[in-house]
Amino acid sequence: MLPLRAGDVWVEIGAGHGELTELLAPKVSHVFAVETDPRLLPALQERARTEWKNVEIIPGDILEIDLDSLLSNEKFRIYGNLPYYITSPILQRLFGVSSCLRSIHVVIQLEVAERIVAEPGQRDYGYLSTLCQFYARPEIELRIPPGAFRPPPKVDSALLSMSLPGDRAPLAVRDETRFLEFVQRCFAQKRKTLRNNLRGVFSAERLTRAIERTGLRPDARAEQLSLAQFAALFNALSAEFA
């Protein structure tokens, strides 16, 4: 399920004992294997020295490593079995170098994967859905039961693939940082209307005009809007966004 191509460069998040590194090394151009556990590093470094001539072991935390300097703006792919409690921060870190990314392939908690692929109107649709779909096109490739791991976790997992780019390019939002802050504010209290979530930022009159101009219902909620609709509303309100 991984797109293993001879000329590709991969970054592996959490090399562990090297099980996947061993699979990647003979099939791709280069692997940067990131590992934060110092107890695992000596064995990985020895195998890189003797067996994996195209593998570079990178000690450290993916949240702290300077990926721009490491890769020198080279296009690369990501694989990782992500710790469930920091899945979102890691994805946000990777989106920060999205211009250099070809694809992301991560094993994460199934519940989180379902939130990422959710569409407008679905129960799981929220800010994480819009963030990931802004940068990439996510797809659940495989559902993985707890018994596939040792020791087994208490939750189901999934292999999630995200190809880049996502909806970012066609939306052509001028200020991406402010746009994503705006979308996050729209989801501040999911069951509340857009009016209620945004009234601390915009006047009632301005909200009314912008909502009418973009063809939204007066009682619209964030969970009902597509990224294109968020962008239209943001553009209508951007002059007053603070």
Domain ranges for the chain: 9-168, 171-240
28-77: pLDDT as tens digits: 999 999 999 999 999 999 999 999 999 999 999 999 998 888 877 678 99
* Helical spans, DSSP H, in the chain: 19-24, 41-50, 67-71, 87-95, 110-117, 127-135, 168-171, 176-186, 194-198, 204-213, 227-237
pTM (predicted TM-score): 0.91
- How would you class 150 by CB atoms within 10 Å of its CB: exposed for 0-12, middle for 13-18, buried for 19 or more? exposed
Q: What is the CATH number of domain 171-240?
A: 1.10.8.100
Name the architecture of domain 9-168: 3-Layer(aba) Sandwich (3.40)
Mean pLDDT across the chain: 92
